[in-house]
Structure 1
């Protein structure tokens, strides 16, 4: 009998038992994927110690340490080996080795705010289908867009529940199936007659131009566009609450709170199983709850003070008309109202900022837009004629081109998923997507794929004009700045209406140029991806037109 190579306290039975238990855990949790880390983490912490007790022998620190080391090492090795093996369901899809091994790499990338650029880099290397996680794919195939996002496509992944405190009602963002259809019906009704909101847009657009005209130094358009969108959405959702344009600053720090919340969501959304644990941490749970409480406070104020406009967003989401069979609770309506502010403010501000950067960076396009505006609006009173706004064809083309280059949600929000235990995977664009696979469709990368858009990094609004004689590759089915399908952005037409009004008022009133000393070409480097896009200052000088 050969002598054991292990020290006496670390016998072969303990060694074998720890390895066997680790393999059983891998098999079990692979088959029954946990929705939260609470119970699995507890088990994984307790089991190595339990092995020592069950197998008998002395219970001491050395044996416990040995059991934990063997257990965790074996479990890690087993997981890594399987994920890199040809037996993994996604083995056929290429991608960086580190992404195949762990999604923690995705957390690190997301934390830097450059996830959209990283995805662009790896798609350029590996092609339209890239494995970005152990059970995750990133896809930039126009043929797959409708099959993934439209009715009958893949369902929302767990990312969409990110950041929601257990005490907060689910919103249109996270709901699926009939519940989503019911909630979407309410939002569709709110967005059915956008002309009802024109007076609110006009009021804030005029105020924006007035306040800009009062500035005596270079102005940060990125900031002023944020103030405009916060004030407008405050008017629309809660009857007017902020008045940031008047103050000339974000007095309540709303923008920072929104961006912090969204940054946490995109970072932690890469590992959604951890959310249940985060709510156990008092500081994290309190931060999320305080953000959600903001909606409650604004809703209570709206009920007390009433509307500044007869049929605003609150009128519909709170069902003040009495259309729905069951009236929503204050908590439900408040959660929807704060979603409106979060979803519509920062994204519209980003579109406005990006559009002005594109125009000022491209003088010929800037001049064409301004000439179109001057021809359409001869006198100042015409500026409030929103029916004419829609006739500014070249401006609309510039908006589309900006949305292509700088989509407000660079990676199109969260994942879709072929659910586990669903009876098999799905065929998407002639590719097999195994069950349990999460799927991203990064808008930023899709919009810059040269197969779909010639000269993809250039600002070329003419590609959107039917009258253009440019011989360019142009695949409109690859254009999805507001997503697609039943869960697309319900406020996309309102956002366009806001942007058209602001640009028309701005360019009719001022000549805009980059501030002296500003490296305008460097501004795109300030754009970050934290679910919604963030951006750095855009300093410009304004000269009133005569």
Structure 2
């Protein structure tokens, strides 16, 4: 056989082998798609066909910031459960909290809740998952027992002077802007500056000092800039092969950025522990734990990062959202300002205790959390085995779901569902008022049938938000002081569609909320 003949024969064989491999790959992809769409354990659940065979539509919605409204639209079309990827189900709780309980509550067997899907959470820089992420069951119970006293009513009462000092500064900055003839301010930014400064003092024993300069610190700015990258990180983590490749080619600049972000919190924890403090901050309450329950230093670093984001960004977001809805619903704003200004004669009377009973303020906060939940997406849990590898777990008494399925209750879709709330897209604080109060006003009770328990902005079950009471006290204090002293007006040209135009990357990407501020009673 000549060399040319050998080369030609080898080339023909290679071409045949390549064609065969391509045919096998195509057959595998087509077969897998047919199985996923028609024979998979989740095949009976409603949803777009293309979502049943690929996760790509979901990833596109996430990376472009459209996931929240995309999922809401799917639920409006397909109903309370949607298969949005081959192995994922999204739920709207439209049955009095039964779905929240099934997915996020404790279960009789072992008294445990469904585990959080670990790949959904960005891997911490030091590998330690905190109380609000994918910590193991035993670790989460230990964390919660340790931190619960730091967020108790007793602790909040001792911490109130700290909160009030920062609210004083916010009010002062707004007054200075009015007196200087510069009454147009970005309230979304000012709320965030306030909440991050407060948590800085609670977490590090020292404020970040942002309200003093009305500018974001480099670290906080980096936090906001990194939000858009969260879905990309989730995509990479979801596929082990992609994660392995990324680990090999990850640019040094990204590694340095993650390390520097982590060191910011870690260094401040170190300084706080070194200098000590007699303030009622988080660490004074946590460090008193017994030896077998104490946090390791790495766990302290992790939770400093957790509290700075979870205790700041979300609270500031909620206050900005409520301000937007109040300023676009003047009748509701008038009711709120009347409640506050008729209750208090001077600002010194506005405290955590005195604002807690304000019915309309609480109703406004609840309605803002319903329409604009700070974490608007669903946080996936993993359905465990029900005793055998094949036996499904029945959720909410209605849906048999195979073990290993990722399931979640979508906050935004649940809170905007017409099955749960009358006029679901309207800002109606009255739906949260006690029935007796509404009857006294001779209301026709158009919202009496609302399923108010469907709104769980702080989560549900043993892993709900530990800082719920702190966030509510903080919001009431800030908002009561704000609307007692000032009249606000939305700057229509810049902020008319503030909520409608926002994207969400797990958290909302907030634009400036420009408001004109003037002193009340002028």
Q: Does 1:332 align with 2:332?
A: no
CA distance in 2, matches of 1:362, 1:464: 16
Deviation sequence 1:229-280 (CA, Å, 0-9, x none):
111110111111410001111031513x223444333344356234454333
1:107 shift after superposition: 1.2
Structure 2 residue 259 is the aligned partner of structure 1 residue 289: yes
Which residue of the partner structure matches residue 517 of structure 1?
493
Give the match for residue 118 of structure 2. Answer: 158
Q: Please state if 1:76 is matched with 2:29.
A: yes
Alpha-carbon deviation of 1:209? 1.1
Corresponding residue to 1:315 among 260, 284, 301: 284
C-alpha displacement at 1:353, in angstroms?
0.3
1:446 aligns with 2:414: yes
* Alpha-carbon distance in 2 for matches of 1:381, 1:180: 39
Q: Identify unmatched segments of 5+ residues in structure 2.
A: 1-5, 108-112
List per-residue Cα deviations over 1:102-121 (Å, max 9, x = no partner): 11221110111121100111
1:204 aligns with 2:166: yes
Question: In the TM superposition, what are the counterparts of 1:142-157 in structure 2 within 5 Å?
Answer: 142=94, 143-152=98-107, 153-157=113-117
Q: Greater RCO between the two (CA within 8 Å, min separation 6)?
A: 2
Match 1:88 to one of 33, 40, 63: 40
Select which of 182, 187, 190 maps to 2:142. 182
Q: CA deviation at 1:480?
A: 0.7
**Displacement of 1:217 after TM fit?**
4.0
The whole-number CA distance in structure 2 between the counterparts of 1:268 and 1:104 is: 15
Give structure 1 stretches of 5+ with no counterpart: 1-7, 12-56
String of CA shifts for 1:371-392, please: whole Å, max 9, x gaps: 1111221123212x32111021
Match of 2:68 in 1: 116
Aligned to 2:509: 534
- The answer to whether residue 125 in structure 2 is matched with residue 170 in structure 1 is no
- Residue 526 of structure 1 contacts residue 535 of structure 1 at CA under 8 Å; is this kept in 2? no
Q: Compared with structure 1, are the counterparts of its residues 518 and 184 closer, same or farther at alpha carbon in structure 2 (3 Å cutoff)?
A: same
- Offset of 1:189 from its aligned partner? 1.8
Aligned-residue RMSD, C-alpha: 2.4
Q: Which moved more, 1:57-66 or 1:507-516?
A: 57-66
Count residues in correspondence: 485
Contact 1:198-1:386 within 8 A present in 2 as well:
yes
Q: 2:229 aligns with which of 256, 264, 276?
A: 264
Within a 5 Å distance, the mapping from 1:124-523 to structure 2 comes to 124-142=76-94, 143-152=98-107, 153-165=113-125, 167-172=126-131, 173-192=133-152, 193=154, 194-215=156-177, 216-255=182-221, 257-269=222-234, 272-273=238-239, 274-283=242-251, 284-307=254-277, 310-316=279-285, 319-383=286-350, 385-412=351-378, 414-419=379-384, 423=388, 424-429=391-396, 430-466=398-434, 467-468=437-438, 469=443, 470-472=445-447, 473-515=449-491, 517-520=493-496, 522-523=497-498
Residue 502 of structure 1 deviates from its aligned partner by 0.8
Give 3-state SS (helix, strand or coil) of 1:95's partner.
Answer: coil
**Secondary structure, aligned partner of 1:524:** coil
CA contact (8 A) 1:162 1:272 kept: no
Separation of aligned partners in 1, 2:290 and 2:509: 38
Partner of 1:14: none
**In 2: Cα distance, 1:322 partner to 1:129 partner:** 43
Q: 1:60 & 1:229 partners in 2: Cα distance?
A: 68
Q: Could you tell me how far apart the structure 2 residues matched to 1:206 and 1:236 are?
A: 17
Residue number in structure 2 paired with 1:32 = none
The answer as to whether partners of 1:93 and 1:129 remain within 8 angstroms in 2 is yes
Q: Is the 8 A contact 2:381 2:406 kept in 1?
A: yes
CA positional deviation for 1:285: 4.1
- Cα distance change on mapping 1:91 and 1:379 into 2, 3 Å: same
2:394 partner SS: strand
Shift of 1:122: 0.9
Distance 2:298 2:136 in 1: 19
- Please give the alpha-carbon distance, in whole angstroms, between the structure 2 residues aligned to 1:124 and 1:190: 41
Give the TM-score of the pair, scaled to structure 1. Answer: 0.83
**8 Å Cα contact 1:163-1:265 kept in structure 2:** no
* C-alpha displacement of 1:322: 3.6
